[in-house]
Structure 1
């Protein structure tokens, strides 16, 4: 089977309708493809982190008023230093609040799928009851529903579901 091709401008039309690009058009596309790849390499090297940005990324942290960068952040400011000291003193309280928030955001729905209810005890630990047991305890007034608080009870945390608290 032989195919006869004729050339019309930049396209070669073959007898079976198949089109091939002429060499000049192919060369232009190849040229622009190479130029665009060179441009992308140059742009990516300009956008990468420079040495000055690397120092910022590698600096020590200051969390809960503790860390190697706290003195640098305070920069001798007595008010900032006092806030850092208060934050360090309340570190355990904030960590416990964060852990409670994690439990209450993630576990109640998991236990609900097993027909269990997660209830917080006065000592801060958790216990589960069946739905019937929890309903009976609520009728008896032994379980109350409270909205979680944050920042040591100063702010109502509306990102969490209400907590069922066991009274003893």
Structure 2
């Protein structure tokens, strides 16, 4: 469920014939694994295929997606990562710039892109948001990408 208590539905099979790229920032491996698990489950439930690329952290996620755009191999993208507040302002820059870069890519290139970059105060919050039996933000990002891919297909 999202913060409003309603998860946006994606019909089973809605992704049939579509191929997505999941790009995961691996700065926090346990969190990344859980978010990836949710994203994969959502794509597979919808009937979509996928590939996965791992990058060091949230800042590298938009760069990898920009590189993948040059291949024209994907119908959509799922961006996963986590930024945890530390004792410095580094958190603010990393969180805002990675999300800004992803949003810019999505708008400029009309990308079916689900953004699942967690921005949290601590690891406990991240695990709650990542957990596939909890908030499942990785699954939510994949479902958003699926919905946008469907919209793009209808409009083109």
**Same topology, TM > 0.5:** no
- Bigger radius of gyration among the two: 1
Instruction: Name the TM-score, length of structure 1 as normaliser.
Output: 0.19
TM-score (norm 2): 0.20
